[in-house]
Structure 1
Amino acid sequence: MKSKGYSRRSFLKGAAATFALSSLGVHSAFAGGPKKKYRVALVGTGWYGKSDLFRLIQVAPVDVVALCDVDSNQLKKAADLVSKRLKTDKIPKLYKDYKKLLAENKLDILMIGTPDHWHPLICIDAIKAGCHVFVQKPISIDVMEGEAMLAAARKYNKVVQVGTQRRSTPYLKQAKEDIVEKGLLGKVSHAEICCYYHMRNRNNPDEKPVPDFLDYDMWVGPAPKRPYVGLPHRGWWRAFMEYSNGIVGDMCVHMLDAVRWNLGLGWPKKVTSWGGVYIQKDSQATTSDTQLALFEFDELNVVWTHRAWGQAADPKYPWSYKLYGDKGVLECNTMMYDFKPLDGGEPIHRDVFIDKVNYPEDLTEQDIELNCAQAMRVHMLDFLSAIENGGRPVADIEQGHISTASCILANLSMKLGGRPLVYDPETRAVVGDPEATQMLTRPYRAPYVHPHPEQV
């Protein structure tokens, strides 16, 4: 049986999503929808890698050419799910080595859903191979990796969209346009961002033999190699600074990025952070369970707090950003927003829209974040619009780099005992701090070579 290709139902769904995108004023020239069938591959077929791919499939004609993963069991399961989603008997080509995938296939788009420590090398290699790239956040483990990714995207003129989908969340975009940009908040000089989820892994497993279906050495790649204690997939690798940027890199990056997007902010003038492992000392995890960070901009402080224990300061907004102006307060998270004017005017509340009619497959997709599905569809269409019509996508690699690097600087400040850090993107150095500047580049495990922005 041959592939049914791009069905009428898929076209209508794509058109509906395109209408949603154009109604938000994003790339109105894209009103006709995608103009071609895209050849796509995914590296990293775990939870969110598949989720990102499925959102792209929902809004555009795609040929999923290949999938890549170092876990052959996970890879085969993903291939079956992709074929079912595309309603075809065709199985994507399967790879363990992403470099071989890039060498053997002509692609339009490469999607990256690997753990954070693999993002930079795969992204840069894909760009050099002629691909546009969708990469999850945080884009990198160290600051120089991000600089190299940005340099590669600009040198080879490729679109790179980052998975900071608050920028494409319809109700949050509406809040930005109708509340922030119309001045209902007045002057904003304080913002609070936070995460109080109990998300830090607290297990202490013993070392185990590596199963034959997993290439653990390739999974580790350029990062430090920890003893194998079980499958390093969802819920485990993020517990280690060797493979992630901790809760700051995972959760703060979203909310800091949203604040920057709302207020049109670039690099923070100064980053300072304090924290560590204060409570959960019995875990193998190397990430902080308690951390405070201060991102300073002109006449504006953005304060981050996370605790992987205790109760949320505001149980209604446990992972959120809040903008404080002299005329009102705007509270936002992934489920809703609330605007509270200070002059006694009418408050405004909006909830996330979950489309259960046009996308019934969402309701049976394992572990899907339903509240983010519509945002990711709009995010994918914005990505495709930038590819077809030029310009930068809403979560362009430069914006992803600034938000990611700011969070990395927070972790470095904490590591340096709360020392304030001022990063200069022109010189790519921490001003007046050679020790911190050296920490902007993390040593790679041999034989991997760390990318450099001047050498991509």
Structure 2
Amino acid sequence: MSFYINRRHFIKSTLATTLYATYGAYGQHLMHPSKKLRVGLIGTGWYGKSDLFRLIQVTDVEVVALCDVDKNQLSQAASLVMQKNKQSKSPVLFTDYRKLLASIEMDIVLIGTPDHWHALNTIDSLRAGCHVYVQKPTSVDVLEGEAMVHAARKYNKVVQVGTQRRSTPHLVEAKKNIIDTGLLGKIGHVDMCCYYHMRANGERTIQEIPNYFDYDMWSGPAPKLPFKGLPHKRWWRTRMEYSNGIMGDMCVHMLDAVRWMLDLKWPKRIQSQGGIYVQKGGFSNIADSQTAIFEYEDFNCVWNHRTWGTPTDPEYPWALFIYGENGVLKASVMKYEFISTDGKTHITKDVTYEREQYPEDLQEKDIELHTAPATRYHMMDFLKAIDQGSKPIADVEQGHISTASCIIANLAMELDRPLIYDPNKRLFTDDNQANTLLSRPYRAPWEHPNPLDYL
């Protein structure tokens, strides 16, 4: 089966030359449709819709099903999909993703649910015969991620993780022109950071659950806390019951980008310190300050975040810095710079927006304009992998390594000691207490996936 990337959008892209260099003659092959892709979306919130709309922009799809536990959000998403995809038939709507997978045949499932749902949504979609695009992080515990990797291999399906820094145009250029050419020389250290104010501070009161919202299904395998307002209104990430805090939200992106740029696998050892140092009290329970050290053979990758105060470098509030003997590469979602040690060489490149090529982006509510091109190219890579039976650039195993490394950093902070993880044994080395934390307890009747079931 060959998949169709819209020729009009493909040619008008400012990166058409780069894409041709990436896809070669196959780029021409993608321009000829054999059939429309049947696509479903589980989780129709902000980024779920954003991912779907980027897919619609680059290939010919029929959106056949949508699922969300918020009926209001679900119906709004259906209207937007019909408008943006110019399809007269509404997608079939579900509030239980299991019913969607049991009754609708699909080629691709996009997953935009909260983090605590990613593993079950992905594995069940793979079992139903679908390729999967799942948002990062892949999981909320290490063994969920291990099960996802094994399930993808067992069912022989493509899983692309939404770590789209690997497809961000200016970062692709930075890797090619700075890293791969050896311009930095011997690399000896990496810093990564996020200084965004991301906690939901203050108290919240218990409220009545709206009749259009299934809170029990939203909670799923995670604890069902007293209802204090719609969790998907941007506060669920600030609770560790449903996420891995800023490590799982923001560090995973930068660590994954560094791993991709430098071809790194699992860290040898991970240590971390942090906690709630400043913004004490209130509803959020994620760390407001944290440092993590991911140790590799010849250098360390060090992460810092604060949800208070000001950035160390105001131009790079969420970024990575790769230090070599010949200079430094600074990189963020907005730009990159190479500055040589002697100060004589300064190379810089700003983010690609593609406003002229995709004017509809300007009309989309809550869109992150600077990430739209990255997600489009990430989707193209996903389609190529499906068609060729290959691994995508952000294959589930790569997403798992980056995700699990961040999870392990949180566990190292909790246990107040460094941890060494053996991915072959799926155990920590000489640390029985840490091994009990490799999986989170699931709320009944949900059952935690077992990696051994997919070997």
Aligned residues: 449
Is 1:148 the equivalent of 2:152? no
Alpha-carbon distance in structure 2 between the residues aligned to 1:26 and 1:241: 40
What displacement does 1:21 show? 5.7
Cα 1:56–1:208 shift into 2, 3 Å: same
In structure 2, what residue type is equivalent to 1:326?
Answer: E
In structure 2, what residue type is equivalent to 1:84?
Answer: Q
Alpha-carbon distance in structure 1 between the residues aligned to 2:40 and 2:322: 38
Q: What is the aligned partner in structure 1 of residue 418 from structure 2? A: 420
Q: Which region of structure 1 is more displaced relative to structure 2, 446-455 or 23-32? A: 23-32
Q: What SS does the corresponding residue of 1:244 show, helix, strand or coil?
A: coil
What displacement does 1:170 show? 1.0
Report if aligned partners of 2:4, 2:30 keep a CA contact under 8 Å in 1: no
The aligned runs of 1:221-232 (5 Å cut-off) are 221-232=220-231
What displacement does 1:11 show? 3.5
Alpha-carbon distance in structure 1 between the residues aligned to 2:304 and 2:84: 39
Q: What is the aligned partner in structure 2 of residue 455 from structure 1? A: 453
Alpha-carbon distance in structure 1 between the residues aligned to 2:161 and 2:24: 17
Cα 1:159–1:101 shift into 2, 3 Å: same
Deviation digits for residues 262-296 of structure 1 (CA, Å, limit 9, x no counterpart): 00000000000000011111211111000000000
Q: Which region of structure 1 is more displaced relative to structure 2, 81-90 or 320-329? A: 81-90
Report if aligned partners of 1:15, 1:32 keep a CA contact under 8 Å in 2: no
Alpha-carbon distance in structure 1 between the residues aligned to 2:429 and 2:249: 26
Alpha-carbon distance in structure 2 between the residues aligned to 1:336 and 1:191: 17
What displacement does 1:201 show? 1.0
The aligned runs of 1:357-368 (5 Å cut-off) are 357-368=356-367
Q: What SS does the corresponding residue of 2:394 show, helix, strand or coil?
A: coil
Q: What is the aligned partner in structure 2 of residue 432 from structure 1? A: 430
Report if aligned partners of 1:20, 1:378 keep a CA contact under 8 Å in 2: no
Q: What is the aligned partner in structure 2 of residue 3 from structure 1? A: none
What displacement does 1:20 show? 5.5
In structure 2, what residue type is equivalent to 1:32?
Answer: H
Deviation digits for residues 187-244 of structure 1 (CA, Å, limit 9, x no counterpart): 1110000000011111311001111000000000000111100011142100100000
Q: What is the aligned partner in structure 1 of residue 162 from structure 2? A: 163
Report if aligned partners of 2:72, 2:212 keep a CA contact under 8 Å in 1: yes
Given candidates 428, 439, 442, the residue that maps to 2:440 is 442
Report if aligned partners of 1:30, 1:385 keep a CA contact under 8 Å in 2: no
Cα 1:232–1:189 shift into 2, 3 Å: same
Q: What SS does the corresponding residue of 1:455 show, helix, strand or coil?
A: helix
Alpha-carbon distance in structure 2 between the residues aligned to 1:139 and 1:172: 22
Alpha-carbon distance in structure 1 between the residues aligned to 2:7 and 2:202: 46
Q: What SS does the corresponding residue of 2:223 show, helix, strand or coil?
A: coil
Is 1:12 the equivalent of 2:8? yes
Q: What SS does the corresponding residue of 1:329 show, helix, strand or coil?
A: strand
**Aligned-pair identity (%):** 56
Is 1:240 the equivalent of 2:236? no
Q: What SS does the corresponding residue of 1:25 show, helix, strand or coil?
A: helix
In structure 1, what residue type is equivalent to 2:421?
Answer: Y
Cα 1:397–1:427 shift into 2, 3 Å: same
Q: What is the aligned partner in structure 2 of residue 208 from structure 1? A: 207
Q: TM-score, normalised by structure 2?
A: 0.96
Deviation digits for residues 152-210 of structure 1 (CA, Å, limit 9, x no counterpart): 00111100000000000111101101110100001111000000001111131100111
In structure 1, what residue type is equivalent to 2:339?
Answer: K
Deviation digits for residues 51-88 of structure 1 (CA, Å, limit 9, x no counterpart): 00000000000000000000000000000011110123
Alpha-carbon distance in structure 1 between the residues aligned to 2:48 and 2:146: 23
Q: Which region of structure 1 is more displaced relative to structure 2, 374-383 or 353-362? A: 353-362
Q: What is the aligned partner in structure 1 of residue 324 from structure 2? A: 325
Cα 1:7–1:181 shift into 2, 3 Å: closer
Cα 1:85–1:152 shift into 2, 3 Å: same
Q: Which region of structure 1 is more displaced relative to structure 2, 251-260 or 197-206? A: 197-206
Structure 1 unaligned segments of length 5 or more: list them: 1-5
Q: TM-score, normalised by structure 1?
A: 0.96
Q: What is the aligned partner in structure 1 of residue 282 from structure 2? A: 283
Deviation digits for residues 6-51 of structure 1 (CA, Å, limit 9, x no counterpart): 999x540144458356245257624432644210000000000000
Q: What is the aligned partner in structure 1 of residue 92 from structure 2? A: 93
Q: What SS does the corresponding residue of 1:197 show, helix, strand or coil?
A: coil
Is 1:78 the equivalent of 2:50? no
What displacement does 1:389 show? 1.2
Q: What is the aligned partner in structure 2 of residue 113 from structure 1? A: 112
The aligned runs of 1:29-428 (5 Å cut-off) are 29-33=26-30, 35=33, 36-417=35-416, 419-428=417-426
Report if aligned partners of 2:62, 2:87 keep a CA contact under 8 Å in 1: no
Q: What SS does the corresponding residue of 2:273 show, helix, strand or coil?
A: strand
Q: Which region of structure 1 is more displaced relative to structure 2, 192-201 or 27-36? A: 27-36
Alpha-carbon distance in structure 2 between the residues aligned to 1:414 and 1:31: 50
In structure 2, what residue type is equivalent to 1:12?
Answer: R
Report if aligned partners of 1:248, 1:407 keep a CA contact under 8 Å in 2: yes
Report if aligned partners of 1:197, 1:318 keep a CA contact under 8 Å in 2: yes
Report if aligned partners of 2:197, 2:306 keep a CA contact under 8 Å in 1: yes
What displacement does 1:385 show? 0.2
